[in-house]
Amino acid sequence: MAKTLVIDDDESFVALCREGLSGVPGGEQHSFVFAASDDEALRLMAEEPGLDLAAVSLDSRRISGMAVFKKLTGARLRVPRIAITDHPAMETVRAAIRDGAADFLIKPVSPADLVATLDRVFADCEARRRAWRTEAQLSAIRREIDIAGDLQKRIIPVEFPPHAGLDLAARITPAKDMSGDFYDVFEVAPQRLAIVVADVAGKGIPAAFYMAVARTLIRATAQSGGEPAVVLDRTNRLLCGHDFPGMFVSVFYGVLNTGTWEFTYVNAGHLPPYHIPADGGAVTPLAGGDGVVLGVTEDLPYQQGRLVLGQGDALFFYTDGLTEAFDVDRNQFSDERLIAWLGESRQMPAHALAHDVFASVAAFTKGAEQSDDITSLVIKRG
């Protein structure tokens, strides 16, 4: 029910509002409070709860018309206002609209016209209120997403443990506010450096949430000890033990011995990193260490692979958002382009390799919208 403040000392109009709407369809949905002067109006505007509309006379000597709302102090009546007049001059109507009237009524007013006007203005008011509420809700959600995105960025390392003879760098660019890609680098024992690059199925908030769970489980399991195959097997069992419908994560996990430069790894359904020999040899993906993505089944074992990094060799880890980046004609950047770029750039330090590849992808896509998260991580033996 809509409650209207009627500011008018015209007894016939007040009587119409009090008694004349009972026989009009929709008339029972309206209630009224009345003020016959500015002072009464200001008191009701300050004290009466739940006012939805205001109808104000432009013709009474006791009422200052639309200017009465400017006299209210200490509060503000945020309701649509209907001007009432018995002078249908266009100048009067225009002046009322300039002063804030949403609609107007010309006396004598019929019951049906009064109800129709109140219904129309109230419906417009409710639509605006819903829009304001929706905008406020969206703004609140936007703020929460921004905060969550900032928190996610903070859990992905930007600085790495220093190790003599090791150059390490990484970069991640989400397709949306939050990423399903992640990487991690941390020590699991003296001269043992764990390296993780992973890609959760999907994008946005669900993928980001699953990413946080998977990252935490991998790191905690790795810290408890064990070969890479054991770590991913334990992590997979933990993920499968939770009910995350349709969610899974591809992971490349390895441990680098910074004393012998042996890299022991497992590939759980992820794109293998590229080995970039310093001697000019072919850029090739790491073979072996095969296994299924995490979070799908507990029944399949994980294999391990091994590689010894030579002096100046590098490993380039990435997610499929890089090679599957599209240009405006839907052509992919492709593994072939990446391999060629890595071969040409093999003398670069790790930071340049990890970051400059994004410039190469951007030059290829030429402003096309990014369709997936992109991550790169490079380790290079000095």
List the chain domain ranges: 2-133, 156-381
CATH dotted code for 156-381:
3.60.40.10
Q: Are 268 and 212 in contact (CB under 8 A)?
A: no
Task: Print pLDDT tens along the chain (382 aa).
Answer: 789 999 999 999 999 988 878 778 888 888 999 999 999 999 999 888 889 899 999 988 899 998 998 888 876 778 889 999 987 777 777 888 888 888 989 899 999 999 999 999 888 877 877 877 777 777 776 676 666 666 666 778 878 878 889 999 999 988 877 778 899 999 999 999 999 999 998 777 788 888 888 999 999 999 988 999 999 999 999 999 887 788 899 999 999 999 999 999 999 999 999 999 999 999 999 999 999 999 999 888 999 999 999 999 999 999 999 999 999 989 999 999 999 999 999 999 999 999 999 999 999 998 898 988 899 999 999 8
Does the predicted model carry a pTM greater than 0.85? no
Which CATH number does 2-133 carry? 3.40.50.2300
The four Cα atoms 231, 374, 360, 311 give a dihedral, to 10 degrees, of -10
**Are 56 and 66 a contacting pair, CB within 8 Å?**
yes
* Cα 268 to Cα 289: distance, rounded to the nearest angstrom: 8
Measured from the Cβ of residue 108, the count of other Cβ atoms closer than 10 Å reads 11
In DSSP terms, 199 is beta-bridged to: 181, 250
Q: Quick one: which H or E segment has residue 130?
A: helix 111-155
Phi and psi for 208 in degrees, rounded to 5?
A: -65, -40
